[in-house]
Amino acid sequence: MSERRSSESGFPIKGVYTAADTPEDLDSRLGGPGEFPYTRGVYPTMYTSRPWTMRQYAGFGTATESNARYHQLLRAGTMGLSVAFDLPTQMGYDSDEPIAHGEVGKVGVAIDSIEDMRLLFADIPLDKVSTSMTINAPGSVLLLLYQLVAEESGVPGSALNGTIQNDILKEYIARGTYIFPPKPSLRLVADTFAYCRKEVPKWNTISISGYHMAEAGATPAQEIAFTLTNGVEYVRAALAAGLAVDDFAPRLSFFFVARTTLLEEVAKFRAARRIWARLMRDDFGAKDPKSMMLRFHTQTAGVQLTAQQPEVNLVRVAVQGLGAVLGGTQSLHTNSFDEAIALPTEKAARLALRTQQVLAYETDLTATVDPFAGSYVVEAMTAEIEAAAVELMERVADHGSAVDAIEAGFQKREIEQSAYRIAQEIDSGERVVVGLNRFTVDEEEPYEPLRVDPTIEAAQADRLARLRAERDADAVARALAQLRAAADGTENVLYPMKEALRARATVGEVCGTLREAWGLYRPTDRF
């Protein structure tokens, strides 16, 4: 039994809760399922009519290898795909650039051009699957490649469903895969909102992410506070670009972690919905109920997986997935038990999916909406997290905006302090991690991880060489020049960007053109 008596967010956990611990205005804080402030879920029926979307995050090596894994997952019952890109792609570099050496295909799939995107989604019905792409700085580039490939197979943009993460602000806080300074990055986000409203109307144009901040050490209260303040910044950027709030807000989505602290995680999700609904209605004047609904994807906590006794991670992931479902997630990715060691094997990925399927089809979780509503402890924790998150959001606002607070290092400092505290608690044994600092074994069982073919980098370079030799170089140059002109002016850059990609410009060439126009961001820069 854990000795911990305080929550991850820092408030004390009582041994017994009663009705006296719940807010006096509980009824108004709750509402009904599908009703403002959406504490009980964004839809009236939630999982009673259909379960959440079951996603598995996959992508490694070449586009052809990743395509084979996607087909395996679809045959196993996955309802949505989630694409992992390698580091060069995330940073907007081609596989043959010197800076990409040693990283091609390592943590995800390498996508250099429309030809790779064709291979990645070969024989996958893009009008029937939902695809999430974990890509940020070049998110618009990968979305346009996806749209172009769909159009080639006869699927119009109006039929596409999915999400690009496209959340650049959290990169400056916790993850680091940024390219451009914040101001042009926010312009690119706003241009993507406007483009998708017209061309890809069912696409979720951003997944405002707390997951990576949580993985860096943020508490649940910090996770939702800093995520929602970033969301406010994106709303302001879109409004400044001339968009009406109800034209883009319904397509905003969020991305959170699910930890093993199940009760607090359920409370966190409920508090986040409540805060966002009030922000959109009261601060931004949203009228469309969909603008006030915080819809989110959840991934189980990779940072809580252990390389020691890795099979124990199956239990952790099941508990984390349970918390996400009880918290009302719209889609869920369950980590594979071996991810603390290497990229997941096929068997491990299938077991992770089976975990979700057991929750959906063998339990009674889908029989009723928001089963924890009215729970003394969950309602008290929801109020505690809400208060803590709002206080942190006010501290961010004291800097002027989320961007100003990022520049001052506020969010990063707060998260680093929490991460240090967690590390100290693990080292001292105060925080129990089964198999790591308690219940250990003398000798681990052998495990054979999935290994990425080291020849991938050379193969990608050969593909790029052929592409550049075969394409119309003059057409590419003209298209990139039009993109540069748009970047230098005020035109929506996604339209000329799409034409450049159609002409077979590479991801690196497109991002390089924008680098020339907008510059690179370095943490010491001022903007």
Instruction: Name residue 164's beta-bridge partners.
Output: 133
Q: What is the pLDDT of residues 251-280, one digit of tens each?
A: 999 999 999 999 999 999 999 999 999 999
Look up tokens 């929750």; give the residue. Answer: 359
Which pLDDT score, from 0 to 100, does residue 2 have? Answer: 45
pLDDT above 90 coverage of the chain, percent: 89
Q: Can you give the pLDDT at residue 5?
A: 80
Residues in the chain: 527
CA distance 116 to 64: 8
Reported as a pLDDT band with limits 50, 70 and 90, residue 58 is low
Dihedral over Cα of 496, 502, 507, 512: its sign: negative
Comparing 227 with 73, the larger pLDDT belongs to: 227
| Residue 82 pLDDT grade (very low, low, confident, very high; cuts 50, 70, 90) | confident
Neighbouring C-beta atoms of residue 43, cutoff 10 Å: 18
Judge if the upstream peptide bond of residue 37 is cis by omega within 30 degrees of 0.
yes
527 pLDDT more than 70:
no
Q: Name residue, tokens 């020691």.
A: 308
Task: Report d(CA 400, CA 414) in Å as an integer.
Answer: 17
Q: How far is CA 197 from the centre of its chain?
A: 20
Instruction: Reply yes or no on whether the pLDDT at 209 is more than 60.
Output: yes
Least reliable range by pLDDT among 5-14, 57-66, 240-249, 475-484: 57-66
pLDDT digits (tens, 9 = 90+) for 399-437: 999 999 999 999 999 999 999 999 999 999 999 999 999
Distances (CA, A) of 232 to 4, 144, 155, 215, 444: 34, 25, 33, 22, 47
Between residues 376 and 525, the one the model is more confident about: 376
pLDDT tens by residue, 298-311: 999 999 999 999 99
pLDDT band at 523 (very low <50, low <70, confident <90, very high): confident
Q: How many Å from the N-terminal Cα to the C-terminal Cα in the chain? A: 50
Q: What is the pTM of this model?
A: 0.91
Complete DSSP assignment for 410-421 = HHHHHHHHHHHH
Q: Residue 491 is encoded by which pair of tokens?
A: 């035109």
Determine the average pLDDT of the residues in 481-504. 98
Q: What span, in angstroms and rounded, lies between the C-alpha atoms of 409 and 405?
A: 6
* Whether the Cβ atoms of residue 480 and residue 510 lie closer than 8 Å to each other: yes
Bridging pattern class, strands 80-84 and 130-134:
parallel
Q: What is the mean pLDDT of residues 501-506?
A: 98
pLDDT value at residue 3: 54
Cα–Cα distance measured from residue 234 to residue 219, given in angstroms and rounded to the nearest whole number:
22
Helices (H), 121-162: 139-152
Residue by residue, DSSP assigns 452-472 as --TTHHHHHHHHHHHHHHHS-
For position 91, what pLDDT does the model report?
Answer: 97
Confidence category of residue 182, pLDDT binned at 50, 70, 90 = very high
Residues 6+ positions from 323 with CB-CB distance below 8 Å: 258, 259, 260, 261, 262, 265, 266
- In the chain, % of residues over pLDDT 70: 97
> In this predicted structure, what is the pLDDT of residue 109?
94
Domains of the chain with bracketed CATH: 36-428 (3.20.20.240), 471-518 (no CATH)
Is the pLDDT assigned to residue 47 strictly greater than 80?
yes
pLDDT of 448 over the 90 cut: no
3-state SS class at 209:
strand
Query: What value does the mean pLDDT take over residues 15-44?
Result: 96
SS3 of residue 198 by DSSP: helix
Contact 333, 57 (CB under 8 A): yes
How many CB atoms sit inside 10 A of residue 94's CB?
25
Q: How many Å apart are CA 291 and CA 36, to the nearest integer?
A: 11
